[in-house]
Amino acid sequence: MSEIFKNIPVIHFEGKDSNNPLAFKYYDADRVILGKKMSEHLPFAMAWWHNLCAGGTDMFGRDTADKSFGAEKGTMEHAKAKVDAGFEFMKKLGIRYFCFHDVDLVPEAEDIKETNRRLDEISDYILEKMQGTNIKCLWGTANMFGNPRFMNGAGSTNSVDVYAFAAAQIKKALDLTVKLGGRGYVFWGGREGYETLLNTDVKFEQENIARLMHLAVDYGRSIGFTGDFYIEPKPKEPMKHQYDFDAATAIGFLRQYGLDKDFKLNIEANHATLAGHTFQHDLRISAINGMLGSIDANQGDMLLGWDTDEFPFNVYDATLCMYEVLKNGGLTGGFNFDSKNRRPSYTPEDMFYAYVLGMDTFALGLIKAAEIIEDGRLDNFVKERYSSWQNELGQKIRNNRITLKELAEYADSLGAPELPGSGRQELLEGIMNNILFK
Ligand code: XUL
Ligand code: CO
């Protein structure tokens, strides 16, 4: 098989003073940070859909990038050419994981039996390509939002036949995930939500989504899938209101329906910001609930209200993300670049520049997050901020050894408490800058 990205060499680490656009400035796979290699801290994954399928089509114009990779689109030759391109791409960048939707891998046929046959063929081919490499699947998923049949959702659909079709796609996507050694399986409920409550039975729909997830867990475990299932929260787009609004909402749903032992969350930066949160917020909420599983690494645009899926370059956000990940003791999943080149960045080199940017941004974030932890000023400040709780009263409250009446009596004896102490936000932001730019 001939080389596809002919003018692109294997990308190496050259350090921050390098001017080579096809070299890492910060991502040094073997460098040890807080006792672990960078490559172990950062299991990066290539998103099949953006990298190998999307050509830049938007609401106002067609593809700008040619992702045919020398084959006719819509054919199995093209599906294989994408595999060839993907593996060459991952090898050149030192990426060890990929994520896929079923329909990213092969053209969907009219009949699901034919689609599944194509999926068997392509997954055999992917397995062959995996041999002799350390590349594996990070997670798989079924696309249950693109086909018109899913206009009213998959688990939440009003049509029992569409629900059964979704179940069939999940079953096959789980088979593929296990076959390709996947660590996780994702549910992103792009159309699980509603446009208007005038036609929607929310309780009925949510119960059905949960039932479909239980069926997936039962089937997955029966075929030997030991990884995590993930919900990927997103508040809106394409639906006006999506049920998996944010981390807190998804966690509540998982607990309500008894799915919390098998599921964690896949947190996407741009989804958190669409929900009106910071990326760090949704990571923290997941982490404190023991549910931070995996990350879709991208960023949105402050000026745009939709999911722009940009390659991450904001080092502040990446640092705060890595701070959460380090505090979480790492991820069971990884960092999937659910990111796409801007439409005018249409050349093959741009695909590489984008990944170099994303990987370097997270490497820099990791380096800086480790420095924040080693520096200790932020952590010490937080600890100190709650120090009043160390006294006898604080301990009684924390250990449930006091009543509301007793607290009220104590408050009476106080008169008025002193002010709680400055939050020192500006001081802490200055420390953050000091560490980032030293
Ligand atoms: C859409 C999105 C999806 C999921 C997988 O916003 O993030 O690509 O990651 O279906
Ligand atoms: Co995503």
- Provide the CATH number for the domain around residue 300: 3.20.20.150
- Estimate to the nearest angstrom the gap between the alpha carbon of 336 and the chain centroid: 6
Tell which of 375, 396, 428 closes a domain: 375
Q: Which residue has the CA at smallest separation from atom 5 of ligand 1?
A: 188
Residues 293 and 425 occupy one common structural domain: no
Q: Answer whether 205's CB lies under 8 Å from 166's CB.
A: no
Q: Answer whether 239's CB lies under 8 Å from 194's CB.
A: yes
Pocket of ligand 1 contains residue 232 by CB under 6 Å: yes
- Is residue 361 situated within a structural domain? yes
- Is residue 370 situated within a structural domain? yes
Q: How far is the CA of 270 from the centre of ligand 2 (A)?
A: 9
Residue-level pLDDT at 5: 98
Query: Using alpha carbons only, what angle is made at residue 357 by residues 136 and 436, rounded to the nearest 5 degrees?
Result: 115
Pocket of ligand 1 contains residue 357 by CB under 6 Å: no
Pocket of ligand 1 contains residue 267 by CB under 6 Å: no
Residues 359 and 392 occupy one common structural domain: no
Residues 299 and 383 occupy one common structural domain: no
Residues 145 and 253 occupy one common structural domain: yes
- Host domain of residue 428: 378-437
Residue-level pLDDT at 242: 98
Residues 182 and 244 occupy one common structural domain: yes
- Structural tokens at position 29: 């796979």
Residue-level pLDDT at 243: 98
Q: Answer whether 40's CB lies under 8 Å from 325's CB.
A: no
> CA-to-CA distance for 198 and 246, rounded, in angstroms?
24
Q: Answer whether 27's CB lies under 8 Å from 360's CB.
A: yes
Task: Look at the chain and report how many structural domains it folds into.
Answer: 2
Helix (H) or strand (E) holding 294: strand 292-296
- Is residue 12 situated within a structural domain? no
- Looking at this protein, which amino acid is placed at residue 204? F
Q: Is the pLDDT of residue 1 over 80?
A: no
Q: Answer whether 86's CB lies under 8 Å from 138's CB.
A: no
> CA-to-CA distance for 192 and 239, rounded, in angstroms?
8
Which ligand places an atom closest to the C-alpha of 187?
1
Residues 34 and 103 occupy one common structural domain: yes
> CA-to-CA distance for 2 and 11, rounded, in angstroms?
19
User: What is the CB neighbour count within 10 angstroms for residue 429?
Assistant: 11
- Is residue 8 situated within a structural domain? no
Residues 286 and 231 occupy one common structural domain: yes
Instruction: For residue 267, name the pLDDT band (cuts at 50, 70, 90).
Output: very high
Residues 281 and 397 occupy one common structural domain: no
Pocket of ligand 1 contains residue 360 by CB under 6 Å: no
Residues 399 and 278 occupy one common structural domain: no
Residues 221 and 234 occupy one common structural domain: yes
Residues 198 and 344 occupy one common structural domain: yes
Q: How far is CA 130 from CA 91, 125, 351, 362, in A?
A: 11, 9, 21, 25
- Residues forming the active site: 101, 104
Choose the residue to mutate in 234, 282, 339 for probing ligand 1, maximizing ligand atoms within 8 Å of C-beta.
234
Residue-level pLDDT at 246: 98
- Is residue 20 situated within a structural domain? no
pTM, two decimal places: 0.98
Residues 204 and 319 occupy one common structural domain: yes
> CA-to-CA distance for 247 and 97, rounded, in angstroms?
24
Q: Is the pLDDT of residue 185 over 90?
A: yes
Tell which of 353, 375, 397 closes a domain: 375
> CA-to-CA distance for 258 and 211, rounded, in angstroms?
10
Pocket of ligand 1 contains residue 268 by CB under 6 Å: yes
Q: How far is the CA of 326 from the centre of ligand 1 (A)?
A: 24
Burial class (CB in 10 A: 0-12, 13-18, 19+), 86: buried
Tell which of 375, 390, 410 closes a domain: 375
Q: Is the pLDDT of residue 179 over 80?
A: yes
